[in-house]
Amino acid sequence: MLNVGVMVGSAVFLTASDVARALPHPLLQLAAWLVAALFSLAGALTIAELGAALPDAGGLYVYLRRAFGPFWGFLYGWSLFAVIQTAAIAAVAVAFASYCGHFVPLSPRSVQLLATVAIVGFTCLNILGVREGVVTQNIVTFAKIAVVLGLVVLAFGGRAGSWTNLIAHTVDRPVGLVAVAASLIGPLAAFDGWITISYMGGEVKRPERTLPFAAFASVAIVAALYLALNASYLVVLGSSRVADSPLVASDTARALIGPRGADLAAAMVVIATMGGIHGNILAGARVLYAMAAEGLFFRPAAHVHPRFQTPAVALAAQGVVSVAFVFTGRFDQLLTSFLFGSWLFYGLGGLAVFVLRRAPDLQRPYLVPGYPVVPALFVAFAVLLLVGTIAADPRDAAVGAGLLLTGVPAYLLFASAARRAVP
């Protein structure tokens, strides 16, 4: 539910039009979502081998530190704290508040304040206890799934569209590699979040079984939801209308139930973004906790609340930076700039599987199926996406590289402090 809640955010309600513009045939559009699902599954199963072998809080921070040394683990954790996780929380919180404005008119300042309330509220909830956070995540995610399935049932059971829309060839043009690559950007962004459960490896029962199962089950659930939802768009609107629609979920719901459809679509996004905010807050602070416990972050972040048994300081620090991003309004550009950095670390995670297979002292209760082909394909695909991202927008990639490099002096500072602390 944690993984599903983070993955099913606002992207699936907005990116179908990009896929439809890139690919001329409805079945090819659905195939793009299937390819993104298979790639995400390969990544999830690959990283799950590391999670089962190293079931500690921190996810990729722990795996990269063990495989390549403390600097690479720190650089990943620093990137999450400086931009990736905190800016993502801010972006999803602003999306949540903006869609709440569909029901209650909100000024730009009110949107920022409501986003702040959401971040602070979910942060406090997670400080109060792991069980409270997990129960909240489950409730929100189940509600999200129910609303999406409701739209799918209406689409397939109603008379607003036609099944022939799934095979209607609307545009006759060749499909090149550039079009295929462009069609995958949105779906891959919509699946991003499959790695989230690895952050909480130290708090999962029987991680050697639970982490691989959660990786497979969550991607499978989300893939089924995404394929059904995109098929619904196509059945109701047809490929050409999907391509022309900036708010495809809203237009689909309006075609099914009339003017009230916009309310349904806004409610779907509100519930989806609530799960995204909460899931990112719940998991992300575990990386800061793991870094602080190793002396590579501010020491108070390693503090576990004596009553609630949660990384309270790490959660609070993450919340403060996230709120700051809400009021700067710069998180969208920073997230774009750091997109290539995310794929860099994903690729390194795949390589870590090969490196740690040679560690004789490491128990591996779960082995990724199809080794070495599956992790190799995952790494190769991550490299292609990394190169494509840089080629498509070198300016933002350069900004992201500059932000990544801020981790170098930060690492030297924390590593020096850690050495001085050793008696």
How far is Cα 416 from Cα 394, in angstroms, rounded to an integer?
A: 34
Give the number of other CB atoms < 10 A from CB of residue 222: 25
Per-residue tens of pLDDT for the chain, all 423 residues:
888 888 887 778 778 888 888 887 888 889 999 999 998 999 999 998 998 888 887 889 999 999 999 999 999 999 888 888 888 888 888 888 888 888 888 898 999 999 999 999 999 988 988 777 778 878 888 888 888 888 889 888 877 778 777 777 656 666 666 677 767 777 887 888 888 888 877 777 888 788 888 888 999 999 999 999 999 999 888 888 888 887 788 888 888 888 888 888 888 888 888 888 888 898 888 889 889 988 889 889 988 888 888 889 999 999 999 999 898 866 656 666 666 777 789 999 999 999 999 888 888 888 999 999 999 999 998 887 777 667 766 777 777 778 788 899 999 998 888 777 665
In degrees, rounded to 5, the angle at the alpha carbon of residue 411 between the alpha carbons of residues 406 and 414 is 130
Report the pLDDT value the prediction gives residue 322, as an integer from 0 to 100.
92
Report the pLDDT value the prediction gives residue 310, as an integer from 0 to 100.
87
Report the pLDDT value the prediction gives residue 335, as an integer from 0 to 100.
61
Q: Which domains, and CATH codes, for the chain?
A: 2-415 (1.20.1740.10)
Give the number of other CB atoms < 10 A from CB of residue 73: 27
Distance of CA 256 to the CA centre of its chain: 30
Report the pLDDT value the prediction gives residue 57, as an integer from 0 to 100.
75
Please tell me the pTM assigned to this model: 0.84
Query: Six-digit token pair at 274?
Result: 């609530």
Digit-coded pLDDT (tens) for 250-267 = 888 888 888 888 888 888
The owner of tokens 């609340």 is: 305
